[in-house]
Structure 1
């Protein structure tokens, strides 16, 4: 069962595109909401971490 490299590559690309389309169109609004929640939580964590490190730096002075 030896297939050409081009044929395997074509099938890999086809399946990758199909998987991407399935994920993109399955429920795009939920994906967008999840991305926004993750971004806002990451931003909040970054601010809290920066504040904590700033306070630690001030204590050392």
Structure 2
């Protein structure tokens, strides 16, 4: 990641290392994003149903 950030301020242009670092970051982000979407669309939905099933009063701030 550090290499990618340094590349932003380089006047030289993208090197093969810069491009490889960006590709690695994109691949890592895709895995994390997929895990988050699965959590958001499955785990949170199930948790919401269970909380609503308790008929507990809502928490007010």
The answer for unaligned runs of 5 or more in structure 2 is 1-9, 50-61
Which structure 1 residue ranges, 5 or more long, are not aligned? 1-18
Compare relative contact order (CA 8 Å, sep 6+) and give the higher one, 1 or 2: 2
Return structure 1 stretches of 4+ with deviation > 6 angstroms: none
Q: Which has the higher helix share?
A: 1
Query: How does the TM-score come out when normalised to structure 2?
Result: 0.53
The higher radius of gyration belongs to 1
Alignment length (residue pairs)? 39
What is the RMSD computed on CA atoms of the aligned residues? 1.6
